[in-house]
């Protein structure tokens, strides 16, 4: 079954404009209906007045005739001589156009109406006569729909002085036409008004909401800042014009600015404390260097010149010496990391990676004679831009890992190639692979496999953290792909040529 997509919510602008237009439409319709009803009622009142005078005049006409039943004005002097009774009413003086008449003298009914356009006197149909006859007893004016061409009529019945029952009517077509015209005019004016109001409302609302867009823009810009790391200058604020607390949008803008102030302070505090910690680590490492060198020097000196020392003491001195070497390495690593954290600029010199790798593999070979070391170099030398001692350290750390965290007899392949504008160094070994528990934190400080600790290999867990920090400072990338039997570290660095081309 296809799921229906939820309807997009209406924007505030759309809602406001549509509400205004809908309310105005409601008001227009109400005004229109009330006007038409009132107009119609007042027109009918006026028609009733005309009708009343027509009734009066008709009474005069009827009263002027004799009483023989079917003819009025039977005397030849009468202007109505020989006419049917209804016709004599219709033909009477000053009768309004469209008049309708029915006369019942007790025995016969005569009817007729004057045609609006031609003024000729026409007959009514049997059904219409019946409809009229039903109204003869009404004393007040009534509205009756006669159907056909005649439509609605306003009728009033009366009995003449001579006792003749008669009924006259006037068409309501004029009233209907006027009312329809008014309705049409109101409709058109309202529609035009609605369009104009919709346009103006849209414009006003957009103008009113524009500050909100600026506030949103500020929030969006701030949201894009990398606030989670490094030094962040959070200077972006909602413009002063949009922070007036007397307006709704201004309150939002002011609240956002206050929040940004707080965040800015919090970030500054965080940066200060981070800087202090870094400074502390750097200072401490630096201060530890000299005493460590002394310990190492004195123990070495004592061991060398101590022929008379018991073997236990010589062994202990050897341990002191080797541990001070290890600690010196640790202190150097910490110092280097602290400096990299400070974001100090590294050297930007072309470094021949080919030479660097040859040296590194030679050193590794010397340190790990039980391993098989392979080096795959391209025909052309490859140069990267960077800090040579740091890059040497990166490769040395990777090779040390390949030596220390694999069993004797493992094979290590070091390869170099240029891919696009990048130099790619890979260090691949066929050792046991990186423990699964480390996959997420491998490049973090002091992250090391559990087994390493017991090997007494001088594992600190800083090696890969330094690799990551140095490579990042070179705008490169380091990735790892490891499974039991194959572990590959891949370091990408910008090529020297590529950097020059920029």
Ligand X SMILES: Nc1ncnc2c1ncn2[C@@H]1O[C@H](COP(=O)(O)OP(=O)(O)O)[C@@H](O)[C@H]1O
Size of the chain, expressed as the number of residues it contains: 502
Residue with smaller CB distance to Mg ion, 250 or 463: 463
Q: How far is CA 463 from CA 332, 342, 441, 445, 460, in A?
A: 11, 19, 13, 8, 7
| Candidates 94-102, 224-232, 291-299, 400-408; binding stretch for Mg ion (CB under 5 A) | 400-408
Residue with smaller CB distance to ligand X, 303 or 392: 392
Residue with smaller CB distance to ligand X, 71 or 448: 448
Minimum distance from residue 488 beta carbon to ligand X (Å): 9
340 lies in the site for ligand X, by CB under 6 A: no
Query: Which residue, chain included where needed, has tokens 């660097």?
Result: 356
Residues 444-473 that bind ligand X (CB under 6 A): 447-449, 452, 459-465
Q: Are 475 and 482 in contact (CB under 8 A)?
A: no
- 148 conformational bin, left if phi > 0, alpha if psi -120 to 50, beta if neither: left
Minimum distance from residue 404 beta carbon to ligand X (Å): 6
Minimum distance from residue 376 beta carbon to Mg ion (Å): 23
Minimum distance from residue 230 beta carbon to Mg ion (Å): 26
Q: Which does 431 bind (CB under 5 to 8 A by kind): Mg ion, ligand X, none?
A: ligand X
* Residue in the shown chain whose Cβ atom is closest to Mg ion: 463
* Per-residue binding letters, 463-492, with Mg ion (x by CB under 5 A): x-----------------------------
Residue with smaller CB distance to Mg ion, 125 or 439: 439
Residues 383-412 that bind ligand X (CB under 6 A): 397, 401-402, 405-406
Q: Print burial letters for 383-419: b (CB count within 10 Å at least 16), e (below 16).
A: bbbbbbebbbbbbbbbbbbbbbbbeeebebbbbbebe
Q: What contacts 403, CB < 8 A, 6 or more positions away?
A: 364, 367, 368, 371, 412
Q: Which does 452 bind (CB under 5 to 8 A by kind): ligand X, Mg ion, none?
A: ligand X
Residue from 135, 257, 393, 401 touching Mg ion (CB under 5 A): that is 401
329 lies in the site for ligand X, by CB under 6 A: no
435 lies in the site for ligand X, by CB under 6 A: yes
Query: By CB under 6 A, how many residues form the interface with ligand X?
Result: 24
Q: Where are the beta strands (DSSP E) in 46-180?
A: 100-104, 109-114, 121-122, 142-145, 152-159, 165-171
Q: Please state, in angstroms and rounded to a whole number, the distance separating the CA atoms of residues 80 and 98.
A: 19
């Amino acid at each position: 079954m296809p799921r229906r997509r939820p309807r997009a919510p209406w924007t505030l602008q759309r809602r406001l404009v549509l509400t205004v237009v809908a309310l105005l439409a409601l008001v227009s319709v109400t005004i229109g209906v009330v006007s038409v009803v009132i107009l119609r009622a007042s027109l009918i009142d006026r028609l009733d007045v005309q009708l009343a005078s027509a009734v009066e005049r008709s009474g005069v006409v009827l009263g002027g005739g004799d009483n023989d039943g079917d003819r009025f004005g039977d005397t030849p002097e009468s202007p109505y001589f020989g006419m049917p009774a209804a016709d004599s009413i219709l033909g009477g003086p000053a009768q309004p156009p469209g008049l309708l008449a029915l006369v019942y003298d007790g025995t016969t009914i005569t009817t007729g109406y004057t045609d609006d356009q031609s003024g000729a006197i026409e007959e009514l149909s049997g059904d219409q006569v019946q409809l009229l006859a039903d109204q003869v007893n009404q004393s007040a004016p009534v509205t009756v729909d006669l159907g056909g061409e005649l439509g609605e009529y306003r009728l009033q019945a009366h009995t003449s002085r001579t006792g003749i029952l008669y009924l006259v009517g006037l068409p309501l077509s004029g009233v209907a036409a006027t009312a329809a015209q008014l309705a049409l005019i109101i409709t058109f004016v309202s529609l035009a008004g609605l369009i104009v109001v919709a346009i103006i409302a849209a414009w006003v609302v957009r103008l009113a909401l524009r500050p909100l867009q600026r506030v949103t823009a500020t929030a969006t810009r701030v949201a894009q800042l990398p606030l989670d790391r490094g030094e962040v200058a959070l200077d972006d604020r909602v413009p002063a014009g949009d922070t007036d607390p007397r307006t709704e949008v201004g309150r939002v803008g002011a609240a956002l600015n206050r929040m940004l102030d707080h965040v800015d302070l919090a970030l500054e505090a965080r940066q200060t404390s981070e800087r202090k910690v870094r400074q502390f680590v750097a200072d401490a490492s630096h201060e530890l260097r000299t005493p460590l060198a002394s310990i190492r020097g004195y123990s070495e000196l004592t061991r060398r010149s101590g022929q008379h020392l018991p073997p236990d003491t010589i062994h202990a001195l050897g341990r002191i010496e080797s541990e001070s070497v290890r600690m010196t390495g640790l202190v150097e690593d910490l110092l280097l990391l602290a400096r990299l954290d400070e974001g100090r600029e590294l050297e930007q010199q072309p470094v021949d990676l080919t030479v660097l790798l040859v040296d590194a593999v030679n050193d590794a070979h010397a340190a790990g004679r039980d391993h098989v070391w392979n080096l795959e170099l391209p025909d052309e030398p490859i140069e990267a831009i960077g800090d040579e001692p740091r890059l040497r350290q990166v490769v040395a750390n990777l090779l040390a890992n390949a030596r220390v965290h694999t069993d004797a007899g493992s094979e290590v392949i070091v390869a170099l190639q240029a891919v696009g504008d990048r130099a790619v160094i890979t260090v691949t070994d066929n050792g046991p692979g990186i423990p699964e528990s480390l996959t997420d934190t491998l490049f973090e400080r002091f992250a090391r496999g559990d087994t390493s600790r017991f090997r007494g290999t001088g594992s600190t867990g800083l090696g890969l953290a330094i690799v990551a920090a140095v490579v990042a400072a070179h705008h490169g990338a380091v990735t790892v792909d490891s499974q039991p039997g194959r572990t590959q570290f891949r370091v990408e660095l910008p090529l020297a040529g590529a950097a020059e081309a920029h």
